[in-house]
Amino acid sequence: MEIPVFFIVPNDMVAPAAVSMASILENTKSQVKFYILERKTLPISKTNRAKLSDLKQKYENFSIEYIPVDPDDFSDMIPPVSGYITIDTYFRYVIPDVVPDLKKAIYLDVDTIVQGDIAELYNLPLDDCYVGGVNHPKEYWDKFPLFYEIVSNLKLDNPYFYVNGGVMVFDCEKCRQDNIDNLLKEKTRQYKEKIKWADQDIMNWVLQGKIKELPWQFNTLLDALRKYKYPKEEAKIIHYNGPKKPWNCDVFADDLFWKYANKTLFVDELKRMKKVAKRKNSITYYLFNVIPLITIKTEGKRKFYSLFGCLPIMKTTQR
């Protein structure tokens, strides 16, 4: 059995994609076919392709196919509200169509780590649904009023069922039969002023009633682990969702990310990315231009103040 796994990979995100791929290969016995959706206007460099191919030194059970997608085809769609997500996110729409003989396929965001055999996800039944996905943790509706407001804006039949788009399984055959790609594009253009979370909103709204709920273990969000104490050892796929990533700051459970990063040729690049990001997000004020007096580190809406660069003295949160 060959398991098709799709990633959307801009050239500047090849490094984290490689880490996710390594985690899959480390834990999967079956043959895996990676389909990388790249920008037609800015394809993945030869250097990065060579580094991805180097995974063959450790794993033999995979192949890679690069599929160019023209971002201009989505230029009239509203960009996601979150600045760290690009318009490439709409490439998900084309997955069922770009490889016409695929019956079923997995999609993963590049900020995922797979701790189990990916065949378990692939073999989950979709029960005549177009896609399968994991509902957001139940705590989201209680803890984040903005989340419920955004979901309520869609007027879903069940406002407490809204799957995260970072891990999805497509019934490609059924999607092609019902021309789902064009339907999603049409609705995105039609309602682009209404949606907040881009293709995730549209897929939840347009496909409601035809989305198979998958177990939480197959897309365990960082908040579920850190805030709500979901057991990390039971998570089959960990998703570092949100703007904080292991390659730009210290995040919960990032030890797993670096475990697999060390199996790729991108580990040094990822460390440099993190170092640069940390430097951009901190300001140090010096006494006599020599002694580091106060350091202010910014993480999202929070600021951390430390004395002499090492003694924490205060934390503030912007509301």
Determine the residue type at 195.
I
* Alpha-helix runs per DSSP H in the chain: 14-27, 46-53, 95-98, 118-122, 139-143, 145-153, 172-177, 180-190, 198-206, 222-226, 254-261, 267-280
Same domain, 92 and 240: yes
- The CATH number covering residue 134 comes to 3.90.550.10
Same domain, 164 and 292: no
In sequence order, what are the residues at sequence separation of 6 or more whose Cβ sits closer than 8 angstroms to the Cβ of residue 175? 96, 97, 130, 131, 181
Same domain, 114 and 159: yes
- pLDDT score at 317: 57
Same domain, 53 and 76: yes
Same domain, 9 and 107: yes
In sequence order, what are the residues at sequence separation of 6 or more whose Cβ sits closer than 8 angstroms to the Cβ of residue 255? none
User: Residue 169 CB: number of other CB atoms within 10 A?
Assistant: 23
Angle between helices 14-27 and 46-53 in degrees, nearest 10: 10
* C-beta separation of 266 from 51 below 8 A: yes
DSSP string, 155-167: T-SSTT--EEEEE
Same domain, 98 and 159: yes
As given in the structure block, the two tokens for residue 19 are 């880490």
* C-beta separation of 162 from 247 below 8 A: no
Same domain, 265 and 294: no
- pLDDT score at 271: 93
Same domain, 230 and 267: yes
How far is CA 93 from each of CA 116, 255, 289, rounded to the nearest angstrom? 26, 32, 54
Same domain, 9 and 139: yes
Q: Is 200 exposed, middle or buried (0-12, 13-18, 19+ CB in 10 A)?
A: buried
Domain, as residue range, for 102: 2-272
Determine the residue type at 266.
F
Q: How many domains does the chain have?
A: 2
Residues with pLDDT less than 70, the chain? 79-85, 279-311, 313-315, 317-319
Same domain, 186 and 252: yes
- pLDDT score at 45: 95
Cα 4 from Cα 258, distance rounded (Å): 25
Same domain, 184 and 307: no
- pLDDT score at 18: 97
Same domain, 149 and 21: yes
Cα 256 from Cα 22, distance rounded (Å): 12
- pLDDT score at 298: 65
